[in-house]
Amino acid sequence: MVSESEGFGINTDLLETNVLNLAVVIGVLVYFGSDILGGALKSRKELVLKSLADADNKFQEATDKLNQAKAQFESAKLKAGEIRAQGLVTAEQSSKKLLERVEQDIKRLDEVRLATIRFEEEKAVSDICQRVSRLALEQAIEKLTGQLNPALQKRIVQLNITLLSSLAVK
């Protein structure tokens, strides 16, 4: 029997174990396990806190970037509205200028048309006057030729000579 009780060992038979053996095992586990478990929990806690801080920083950065993007979007929206309004004003001004130029061109064309009509009328009147004058001259010459006899011709020539000589003396 002495040989069985010599040495230190753990009795694995649950019915034969006593409270002392359980206290020793639990004490050893608490003493050595608390440092290991405490260190592991502490490093895990630090890792979790660091991860939370990083996540919070990233969230804050993302929020800042989102706010900046929103501000840029609003600025771009306002600028687009200004450009659109300016485009409408420019289009309206261009349209007015174009209409004014078209009206001026129409007035100029009317003036040219009226001037052309006046010129053609004057040309036609001039042509008619020339034809009437030529016709009247031809008729007068024919009439005179038919009425002139040698005595009348002699008398006209003498009158013209007298008239010319009186003009030459003066």
pLDDT tens readout for residues 54-95: 999 999 999 999 999 999 999 999 999 999 999 999 999 999
Cβ neighbors of 130 (< 8 A, separation 6 or more) are none
The pair of three-digit structure tokens given for residue 80, joined into one six-digit string = 């687009």
DSSP 1: -
Query: What is the pTM assigned to this prediction?
Result: 0.41
* Token pair 């036609």 in the structure block, residue: 124
Length of the chain: 170
Expressed in percent and rounded to 5, the helix, strand and coil fractions of the chain are: 90, 0, 10
Q: Is 99 helix (H, G, I), strand (E, B) or coil?
A: helix
How many domains is the chain partitioned into structurally? 1
Q: What domain range includes position 139?
A: 2-169
